[in-house]
Amino acid sequence: MSTSIIEALLPIIVTLLLGYVAGWHRNFSGDQAAILNRMVMLYALPLNLFAGILSTPRDQVLSAGPLLFVISLGMIGSYAVVLGCSRYLFHRTIGVAALQALAISGPAVPFVGVPVLGHIFGPSSAVPIAIASLLMNLVQVPLTLVLLNADAQAGQPGAAQPADANILGHVSRACKEPVVWAPLAALLLVLAGLSLPRTFQGSLTLLGQSTGGVALFASGIILFSRQVTCTAQVMRAVIAKNIVMPAVTWGTALVLGLSSALTQESVVTMAIPTASIAVMLAVQYRTAEREMASVLFFTTILSIFTMGGFIWLTSH
């Protein structure tokens, strides 16, 4: 079991380290990493999401049942709790609070979930992977973009009104991002009973499959240019992501009386480390880049132990 986790996470760690070495050798700068990130955000990731959601059977989207409730509660509920605590308890800006909420509540299911969950649970892993991917890309990422846009608007000199005075404008700008409207369009097509022909699916995934590698490589460059930091804020986020989140999910599943198989699926899904989208958005909006890169680094490295622990605990 631990071997499958290492096999799934080792490519992520190696790619991050390659990006770090590339930055150390001055092959790429932080500005060039931002260009790689822009390619991912505008083209590779939207194509990957569009093709991935369209390949999800309609029945799986509509009949996820208790697993849908537990994972939704874990991802959306924790996003709201972390956002509120970061903003009002720790007095972070709304943009940083949104990034923290995304980093803690959003597992890297598209990159880590497929090899880890697929190896452990087999074909049934398609359900939690689809649920988590849809929640992240249809709820968490759009909401984070709205809040980042609001924070950027508030920081502009001479702003005539508070950032929250025109929320519809922020929603409109966020919805113009390909990473938002592409999965939304795909979801509507799936609900309408339409699917993507295999020929076109290959055409979209050719570039889309580069998302994970390019994003992690760029994140490695950012890790060097920003330098990984081990602050109290970073450690709180790492503990919340790798330990508190799956533990709360486990408790919720037990209270609801889920079967042992569904409980393990939901817990392991939430134990997956932070998604690189948090770093990508931090770079794009130049907000808490070093902090988000550090959270990504430590959650990924330590997940080898924490995820393995939760897999062992939920299997006994």
Could you tell me the pLDDT band of residue 250, with boundaries at 50, 70 and 90? Answer: very high
pLDDT tens string 135-169: 888 889 889 988 998 888 876 655 444 444 455 66
User: Please, where are the H alpha helices in 108-175?
Assistant: 114-121, 126-135, 141-154, 167-175
Predicted pLDDT of residue 155: 66
Cα distance between residue 225 and residue 205, in whole Å: 30
Contacts with 6 (C-beta within 8 Å, 6 or more apart), sequence order: 304
Between 272 and 157, the higher pLDDT residue: 272
The mean per-residue pLDDT over the stretch 243-252 comes to: 96
Predicted TM-score (pTM) of this structure: 0.79
As given in the structure block, the two tokens for residue 26 are 């001055």
Per-range mean pLDDT, top range of 52-61, 75-84, 123-132: 75-84
Q: What is each CA distance from 32 to 22, 27, 275, in whole angstroms?
A: 11, 10, 21
Helix (H) or strand (E) holding 251: helix 245-256
Domains of the chain: 2-155+165-314 (1.20.1530.20)
